[in-house]
Amino acid sequence: MAKKPASTDSTPSSTASAGLDPAIAALGYEDAVQQLERLVESIESGDVSLEASLAAYKKGEQLLRHCKGLLDRAELSVRELSLADAEQGG
């Protein structure tokens, strides 16, 4: 049976920001969601060119991935806090 290679760094923060535009990676959750909503509105309006729509779609994918990463890290933090609280008998 083949052994799965160990990852050098599999923390949620490192995997979530991999391949993201640095400007997107620096955004907080609320700002990223606002930008994503504006992109969706511009694409749905039909007032932008095909090229601009494709660029917006690509940026939207990155924003969505960033938001998911932020949510995953927040969920992990809550689980860790809950586990620590349970271990302390609280």
Can you give the CATH number for the domain in which 32 is found? 1.10.287
Give the per-residue SS3 of 49-71: CHHHHHHHHHHHHHHHHHHHHHH
Which of 17 and 42 is assigned the larger pLDDT?
Answer: 42
9 pLDDT more than 90: no
Over residues 25-62, the pLDDT tens digits come to: 999 999 999 999 999 999 899 888 999 999 999 999 99
Please state, in angstroms and rounded to a whole number, the distance separating the CA atoms of residues 53 and 56.
Answer: 5
Count of the separate structural domains present in the chain: 1
User: Which residues have CB under 8 Å from 27's CB, separation 6+?
Assistant: 35, 63, 66
Mean of the pLDDT values across residues 20-25?
A: 96
Task: Give the residue numbers spanning the domain of 52.
Answer: 22-87
Mean pLDDT of the chain: 84
- Residue 11 included in any domain: no
Query: Which amino acid makes up residue 53?
Result: S
**Which tokens sit at 26?**
């620096």
**This prediction's pTM:** 0.72
Of 10, 5, 3, 4, residue with least CA distance to 76: 10
